[in-house]
Chains A and B, each alone.
Chain A
C-alpha cells in the first residue's frame, strides 16, 4: 500500500458558492485506479463527493474526468502513473471540459454529448425493399467500421476537443465518428444525405482542426479524427462540394502539390474560396476573402515577409523531380480502388522478414486493448525513436 494525494475540483451549483479544490489522502496500491482512489475518499472521508461510475472496467463509459488536465477514464488510469504526471505529486481531478457541471466530477452528458449524437441520426436507415431474410453485407465493409463501433460513449473525446472549446456548436468527435459508422455501412440507404448534411453544416465535418486531441483521449482506440477524415474522403467520392470550402480546400491543395511539387500557399487561399483552378481567385467569394485579408497581405509584403515573386508564381521543384512526383500522383490516382491501411484493424507486422508473412491479419488479431487503447498490436517501436 502507498499513500496517494488527490486534489478534487468540488462544485455544487445549488450551494451558490464557487467551485473549490479539496485534498484527500488515500491508501491504495499503485496499480489501483484513480476511480478507486476517489471512491475511497468518498467512502472514508467525505460521502458528498459526486462521481459517476458503474463498471470500473472501462466498459460503461461513465467515469470520464480530467486527470492532471487531460481527459481520461478514472477507472482506466493507474494511481502511480497519475501521480508521476502530476505537477506537484498531487493527482488533480476535475470534471470533463466542454460540458456543464452538474456536481463535482459529474458533467451533464445529455446537454452536450447525447444531444450531438442525436444530431447525426445515430441509427441505420435501411435500404428498400426489405429483403425476405437478413441484409447481407460484405465482410470487409463491416471490418472497416469496427473501429467506430468500439465507442463506449464516454465523451472523453468531446471533453478534449479543441475545436469545440472555441465553437460549442461543432458536431464534435464522438458524433462524427458515429456518423461514419453509418456512412461506412453498406446497408444504410442515406449515405449521401448524411454526408451532404454534415459537409454543409458550418459546424460539421469541416470544423475539425485536426488537433489529434480526441485520438489521444479516446480509451478505446476509436480515433474519432480519423473517422472524420474518412467522412471527408467519402464526401469527396460523392463529389459533395460544400459551402464551407472544405472540399475545395482539399482538392486545391492536392492539385497544387501535383502542379508544383510544393505547396503554393498564395494560390491555396483564393482557390479554396473560389474553386480549384487558376481562375478560382477571380470568383467573387475569393475577392471578398482577399479584401478581408488585405491588411495582412499588404503588411506581409511591406515587411518583405512574402517575396512577391514567390507569392505570385510559387516555388516549384526542378523539372525532373516534379516529373517523378507527378508520376506518383498518376499511378496512385489511377488505381481502381483506394487502398487504406488502417493499423487499428491490420495491426503491426510481428516481424519484418518480408512481404509474405505480413499484414493481412484481420480483426481477429485486434482484441487486446493496451493502455493507449489501440486494440491492434502496439507498434514495437515508434518510427521516430
Chain B
C-alpha cells in the first residue's frame, strides 16, 4: 500500500526513534511512504487555541499536499496530529463557504483542499482497518510471548468519539488492545489507559502534569505491566523523557519502559531492538529486551517469576 505520510514534528525532533522505526517497519508491511516533507506542524491544538482559522489553513495545506501525491490515504504516526488534524478537517468539511475561504488563502501556491479526497489515518487505524490484524499475525516472526503490554492511547486519538468515528463498528479505542494481542503479547488493563499523560500543561503546571504521568505509569506497574505502548510521541515525552522527574513528583520509583507503536510492531516482525532505536529511550527497556542476547519478551516478568 502506498500512502501519503505525515510523520509530524516530534517524531523528527525529540523522539527521532519514532520516525526511524516507522521507516524500518514500513517495508515489512509492504507500505510505501510518500513523505510530506513540505507540510507544516499540525498545531497540536495550540495554534487553534490562538487562531482557529490559522490552524485550519495550515492543515488544509497539509491535506492539499497529500492530495497532490495522488494517494487517497494519508497516514500519521501521532495521536495528537490525528486529533488536531481531524478537528480541522471536520470544520473544513462541514461548511463549503468556510472551505472556499480557506482555499482562497492556499490558492496562490497552487494548492486546494477538496472534501472527501483525503482520508487521514493513524498507523494504528491503518493496521487494524486496512492492513488487517490477520495479515499482521501471519507476518509475526517473534511473537511477543510473555510480554505484558499496557496500552496508552493519548487523548487526541480517542476523544471526542463522534468526531473520530469511534463506535461499535469501529472500536478505535480498543485497537491497541487488539494489536497487542495480534502480536502475541498480553494486554494489561489498567486505570490510565484512556487518560491524559499531562503533557499539554507541562510548562503551566508541572506538578499536576507530571503527577498525571506518574499515576498512570504507577497504575500500569501495579497491574504488572512490563512496558507501555503508545501511538503518541507527545505522551512519550511525558511518560519516558520526563519519567525521572515524574518519579520525583509522584513520590515513587517507576522505571517503566514506554514503546512507540512501530517499535512494538517491529519487535514482533523480527527487527533488532537497536535498529528500532530502543536504546535511545530514557527508561531503557530492559524488561522488554534482553540486551545480552537480543531476545524479546517479558524479561522482567520471567525474572520475577523465578523468585
Inter-chain CA distance A207–B40, complex, in Å, is 27
Judging by beta carbons under 8 Å apart, are B211 and A166 in contact?
A: yes
Chain A: number of interface residues, binned into ranges: 35 or more
List the B side residues contacting A119 at CB < 8 Å.
Answer: none
B169: nearest residue on chain A (CB-CB)? A385
Set A210, A254, A292: member contacting B200, Cβ < 8 A: A210
Judging by beta carbons under 8 Å apart, are B205 and A207 in contact?
A: yes
Judging by beta carbons under 8 Å apart, are B58 and A328 in contact?
A: yes
List the B side residues contacting A261 at CB < 8 Å.
Answer: 40-41
Chain B: number of interface residues, binned into ranges: 35 or more
Inter-chain CA distance A385–B89, complex, in Å, is 12
Indicate with 1 or 0, residue by residue over A133-151, a CB within 8 angstroms of chain B CB atoms.
Answer: 0000000000000000000
Given known A-B contacts A318-B38, A321-B38, A249 and B46 have beta carbons under 8 A apart: yes
Q: Measured between C-beta atoms, what is the minimum distance from A167 to chain B in Å?
A: 4
List the B side residues contacting A339 at CB < 8 Å.
Answer: 52-53, 98, 101
Q: Measured between C-beta atoms, what is the minimum distance from B209 to chain A in Å?
A: 7
The verdict on B306 contacting chain A, using a C-beta distance below 8 Å, is: no
Inter-chain CA distance A355–B201, complex, in Å, is 39
Judging by beta carbons under 8 Å apart, are A341 and B91 in contact?
A: yes
Inter-chain CA distance A311–B10, complex, in Å, is 11
Inter-chain CA distance A378–B96, complex, in Å, is 16
List residues 1-31 of chain B with CB under 8 A from any CB of chain A: 9-10, 12-17
Given known A-B contacts A300-B282, A343-B90, A254 and B50 have beta carbons under 8 A apart: yes
Q: Measured between C-beta atoms, what is the minimum distance from A367 to chain B in Å?
A: 18
* Stretch from B154-162, B179-187, B218-226 contacting the other chain: B154-162
Inter-chain CA distance A340–B54, complex, in Å, is 10
Given known A-B contacts A233-B50, A341-B52, A341-B91, A207 and B98 have beta carbons under 8 A apart: no
Given known A-B contacts A250-B50, A296-B245, A244 and B205 have beta carbons under 8 A apart: yes
Indicate with 1 or 0, residue by residue over B48-76, a CB within 8 angstroms of chain A CB atoms.
Answer: 11111110111001000000000000000
Inter-chain CA distance A64–B163, complex, in Å, is 23
List the A side residues contacting B286 at CB < 8 Å.
Answer: none
Judging by beta carbons under 8 Å apart, are B51 and A295 in contact?
A: no
A338: nearest residue on chain B (CB-CB)? B51
Set A236, A346, A383: member contacting B50, Cβ < 8 A: A236
Judging by beta carbons under 8 Å apart, are A212 and B160 in contact?
A: yes
List residues 266-285 of chain B with CB under 8 A from any CB of chain A: 279-282, 284
Q: Measured between C-beta atoms, what is the minimum distance from B249 to chain A in Å?
A: 10
Judging by beta carbons under 8 Å apart, are A378 and B162 in contact?
A: yes
A299: nearest residue on chain B (CB-CB)? B282
List residues 125-182 of chain B with CB under 8 A from any CB of chain A: 125, 155-156, 159-165, 168, 170
The verdict on A206 contacting chain B, using a C-beta distance below 8 Å, is: yes
Closest 5 CB pairs of A and B: A212-B159, A382-B165, A321-B38, A263-B9, A211-B196
Residues of chain B having any CB pair with chain A under 8 Å: 9-10, 12-17, 37-41, 43-54, 56-58, 61, 82-83, 86, 89-101, 105-106, 108-109, 111, 115, 119-121, 125, 155-156, 159-165, 168, 170, 195-196, 198-201, 203-205, 207-209, 211-212, 215, 237, 241-242, 244-245, 279-282, 284
Could you list some 9 contacts between A and B, CB below 8 A? A206-B201, A244-B204, A245-B203, A307-B16, A315-B12, A324-B111, A355-B96, A378-B162, A384-B119
Known: A210-B196, A379-B94. 18 other contacts (CB 8 A): A207-B208, A209-B200, A210-B45, A212-B155, A233-B49, A262-B40, A305-B14, A331-B57, A332-B54, A333-B51, A339-B53, A343-B91, A349-B96, A355-B97, A359-B95, A359-B96, A379-B163, A385-B165
